[in-house]
Structure 1
C-alpha cells in the first residue's frame, strides 16, 4: 500500500508586491550575539549580509562574557574589543545601498539572559545566535543556552548553522497551520525576498494503528489517508493566503510521515539554507520539546533554523521605536 502524497505544485502568490515590500520594511533592528563558547564569525557575517540586503536601521553585534567583569583580564577585554573593531571594518567593506547604524557591545552574565534582555531593550526584530559551540563542553553549553533562549524570548531567533558566505537562496517552511508557523513564514519571507520557497505540511492519520488492530481494510485506510492529504492541501492554500508571498512562486508539498524526519529529508533534497518553524504560547514541557526538535534539525542538517512565535507575528508593527 503506497503512502498518499500530493504532488509538488507551484502556488501562485496571493498578495500584491506592495504588501510584500511593506513587510520587508518592518525588519528594522537585528541583534547578532555570541559568547565565548559559541562558534562565532558566521553569526556576525550573517547579520552583516542581512543588514546590507534588507536596508535595516540598526545592526548590533554583541559579545556575551560568562565571566564577571571583575574577573576579566586586560588581555581578554582587549581581545574582545579588537574582535569587535575588526568586525566593524569588515562590515564597512560590504556594499550597502543604505548603510545601517552599526553598534558593538559587550555584556556579562548568562548568555540567554543577556541576549533576551538586550533584544527587549533595543526592540530587536531578529536575533542571531550560533547553533553550536567550539568543542564538546562548549557545544553542550551553547545547546542549553539556545534551548532557554527559544523558551524565553519574544523575538524571532535564527540559529546560525550554515555558511554565511551567500544570501539565503532556498527556504523550507514546514507548517502546522498555527499562528506561530504563520509568524515564522512571514519572517522568512522578509529575510530572503529573492529566495526559492517551499511550504511543507506533514500529516499523520490519527488512530491508524488502532484501525489496523480493529481489522479495517487497507483500502479504507488508504482512502482515509487521501482524505487527510486533500484536507491538508486546502488548509495549506488558506495558510499561504494569510502569509503574503507576493508575486513569488512557491512550491507546496503535503506528505504523510513523522514530521522531523520528513523535514530533514526535504531540507537535504532541496539544499535548504534556512528552515523556518513556529512556536506558540504553550507549557514549559512543550517549550523544552521545541528546543529539542530545534537542536535535532540543526544537528542533522546544514541549514540555519529560524524560530518565531505568534507574539512576533501579532505585534510586529506595534512595538515602539528604539
Structure 2
C-alpha cells in the first residue's frame, strides 16, 4: 500500500478539530496528497454552505485553502465510510475530543461500523502534531492482518523507526512449575517471530527500521506499558471485518485500547 494521495478528514468545523486538521495538513504536505474535508450534518436541517466556508476560514485560516469540501447528511460513521468509498480515499482521519458529537464518534459502536465498512485505514488523531511520526509501535499476533498493518506503517512513514511487539502466554504456569515449559514457550515464540519476519520479505532498509519485541503475558497491558513511556507517537493495529468489529491482535478490548491510548492510533484493515 503506497503512501496516500487522497485524504478524507471528518470535521465538525469547530476550533477543537484543529489537531486532526493540522495532522491532515502535515501528512498531505509530506505525501503531496489531496485533502477533502467532510462535514456530516443531521438530515433534519439544511446546511448553509456560505456559513460552513466562513467557519473553515475562521478556524483553520489559510491552511484550509486548497481543500475540497464535502457536505453530507446522516449518521457520521456511515457517511464517512460511504464518502471514502465514493472518493476513493486512501486514508480517513478523525479526531478524538471528549464531546458527544462527531469528534467523539469513534468510541463504541460507531467505530465498529466505520472499521467494518471503510476500506481505507482510519487514523484517530489525539495529540497536537509537532512533527511527522518518528517512532511507531505495531502490535502483532503474526497474522496476515498484522503483517498488512506493519507493511502499511513502513510504506506510509518511510522515515520512522518501528517497534513490533508480540505477547506470548505461558499456559497453566500456576500449575506447571517447570522452567522448561516457559523456555519452550519462549523458543516457540522466537521461531514464530523469525518466520513472520522472513515471510514479510522486507528490503534491507525496511528491515533495519523494525525492532521486534517478545513479551510474556498480556499484549494489551504490554502495549499500555510501552506507550506509557512516552517514547512513541503512533500506535498501529491490524483489523479484519468479519462479524462486525474484530481485532486480530487485541480482541474484544479494542475500543478500550483506542480510548486509553495517549497517542494517535492507525487502524489498518486488510483488503478482502
TM range (shorter): 0.7 to 0.9
Listed as ranges, the matches of 1:182-261 within 5 Å are 182-205=147-170, 208-209=171-172, 212-213=174-175, 216-242=176-202, 246=206, 248-261=208-221
Greater gyration radius: 1
How much has 1:161 moved relative to structure 2?
A: 1.4
TM-score scaled to structure 2, two decimals?
Answer: 0.85
For the 8 Å contact 1:32–1:128, the answer to whether it is kept is yes
- Aligned mates of 2:67, 2:84 — CA distance in 1: 15
Listed as ranges, the matches of 1:8-87 within 5 Å are 24=2, 26-35=3-12, 40-56=17-33, 58-65=34-41, 67-68=42-43, 71-72=45-46, 78-86=50-58, 87=60
- Aligned mates of 2:193, 2:113 — CA distance in 1: 34
How much has 1:172 moved relative to structure 2?
A: 0.6
For the 8 Å contact 2:115–2:245, the answer to whether it is kept is no
SS in 2 for 1:189: helix
Comparing 288-297 and 156-165, the one that deviates more = 288-297
- Aligned mates of 1:40, 1:306 — CA distance in 2: 18
Aligned to 1:89: 62
- Aligned mates of 2:225, 2:140 — CA distance in 1: 15
Segments of 5+ residues of structure 1 without an aligned counterpart are 1-22, 93-100, 315-322
Residue 95 (structure 2) pairs with residue 130 (structure 1)? yes
Q: Could you tell me which of 226, 242, 266 is aligned with 1:306?
A: 266
How much has 1:138 moved relative to structure 2?
A: 7.0
Moved over 4 A (4+): 36-39, 136-142, 242-245, 287-292
For the 8 Å contact 1:204–1:257, the answer to whether it is kept is yes
Give the number of the structure with larger relative contact order, counting CA–CA contacts within 8 Å between residues 6 or more apart: 1
Aligned to 1:162: 127
For the 8 Å contact 1:131–1:159, the answer to whether it is kept is yes
How much has 1:53 moved relative to structure 2?
A: 0.6
How much has 1:247 moved relative to structure 2?
A: 6.6
SS in 1 for 2:257: helix
SS in 2 for 1:40: helix
Q: Kindly tell me: are residues 131 and 140 of structure 1, through their superposed partners in 2, closer, same or farther at Cα, counting changes over 3 Å?
A: closer
Q: Kindly tell me: are residues 91 and 235 of structure 1, through their superposed partners in 2, closer, same or farther at Cα, counting changes over 3 Å?
A: farther
- Aligned mates of 1:112, 1:266 — CA distance in 2: 30
SS in 2 for 1:167: coil
SS in 2 for 1:275: strand
For the 8 Å contact 2:167–2:219, the answer to whether it is kept is yes
- Aligned mates of 1:181, 1:279 — CA distance in 2: 8
Segments of 5+ residues of structure 2 without an aligned counterpart are none
Question: CA offsets, 1:245-280, max 9 Å, x none?
Answer: 537432211111111111111122252111111112
- Aligned mates of 1:244, 1:120 — CA distance in 2: 34
SS in 1 for 2:155: helix
Question: CA offsets, 1:199-234, max 9 Å, x none?
Answer: 1111223xx22x654xx4322322223222322331
Q: Kindly tell me: are residues 239 and 102 of structure 1, through their superposed partners in 2, closer, same or farther at Cα, counting changes over 3 Å?
A: farther
Question: CA offsets, 1:77-115, max 9 Å, x none?
Answer: 5543223335361255xxxxxxxx631222211001110
How much has 1:183 moved relative to structure 2?
A: 2.0
**Matched residues, number:** 270
